[in-house]
Amino acid sequence: SQKIEQNSEALNIQEGKTATLTCNYTNYSPAYLQWYRQDPGRGPVFLLLIRENEKEKRKERLKVTFDTTLKQSLFHITASQPADSATYLCALAGYSSASKIIFGSGTRLSIRP
Amino acid sequence: EAQVTQNPRYLITVTGKKLTVTCSQNMNHEYMSWYRQDPGLGLRQIYYSMNVEVTDKGDVPEGYKVSRKEKRNFPLILESPSPNQTSLYFCASRKDREQNSPLHFGNGTRLTVT
């Protein structure tokens, strides 16, 4: 069955360092991969989308890579700040509008001052 | 402000007592969906709707009903709630049926069924 795995352990990073989160998937050939941020008590908020034919996407301090051979996406936050502390979810989607969007269970990131 | 609004935010009920969780979006989005979020399981889709009067089952539809009579509203109905439906529920919408459109989520409804 289709499966997404994200770091189950929380990630603790010193402020100013680069945080790297991993999203691995199996039994799926996604057309798109999305990353969302979720704060406690709030709904997920969309951050970035990368297509299967794109290797890398950037937005301000965020960078996402997508390796369809390894079936993996890496999500980087450079110059991390305490305000970046949150849970980050990855999600996969196919081309068809009828295909499911599958979410990972998320990685909790804590940035310590 | 563009948003997805869910009500209530918190709900405690007893087994078998019918309830409805409302969801409304003000962005004229075609697509709406309901998810439940449980620890370690991620977001799982309950039902979705591509447009008015069009609804389809997601991964975990048992015990739930939905309706889409108007574009902006997509209520989730639990006819006879059971304790295994205790969860955090999110409504989401997106502009159209295209999978490269981002989802916009409400702030969730935490449901406890005793």
Using one digit for the tens of pLDDT, what is the confidence trace for A48-91?
999 999 999 999 999 999 999 999 999 999 999 999 999 999 99
Contact between B1 and B104 (Cβ < 8 Å): no
Contact between A76 and A20 (Cβ < 8 Å): yes
For residue A97, name the pLDDT band (cuts at 50, 70, 90): low
CB nearest B102 (choices: A4, A49, A97): A49
Predicted confidence at residue A65, as pLDDT, reads 97
Q: Which of A15, A47, A22 is nearest to A34 (CA)?
A: A47
Q: How many residues does chain A have?
A: 113
Whether residue B99 and residue A45 make contact (CB cut-off 8 A), yes or no, is: no
Regions of chain B where pLDDT drops below 70? none
Predicted confidence at residue B3, as pLDDT, reads 95
Predicted confidence at residue B98, as pLDDT, reads 82
Q: For tokens 């439906």, what's the residue?
A: B85
Residues A21-30: what's their mean pLDDT?
91
Question: Which amino acid is present at A107?
Answer: T
Predicted confidence at residue B40, as pLDDT, reads 83
For residue A9, name the pLDDT band (cuts at 50, 70, 90): confident
pLDDT tens sequence across B10-33: 999 999 999 999 999 999 999 999
Predicted confidence at residue A2, as pLDDT, reads 78
Element (H, E) at A36: strand A32-38
Chain B positions touching A95 (Cβ under 8 A) are: 99
Predicted confidence at residue A31, as pLDDT, reads 87
Q: Which of B77, B102, B73 is nearest to B5 (CA)?
A: B73
Predicted confidence at residue B42, as pLDDT, reads 86
Whether residue A93 and residue B100 make contact (CB cut-off 8 A), yes or no, is: yes
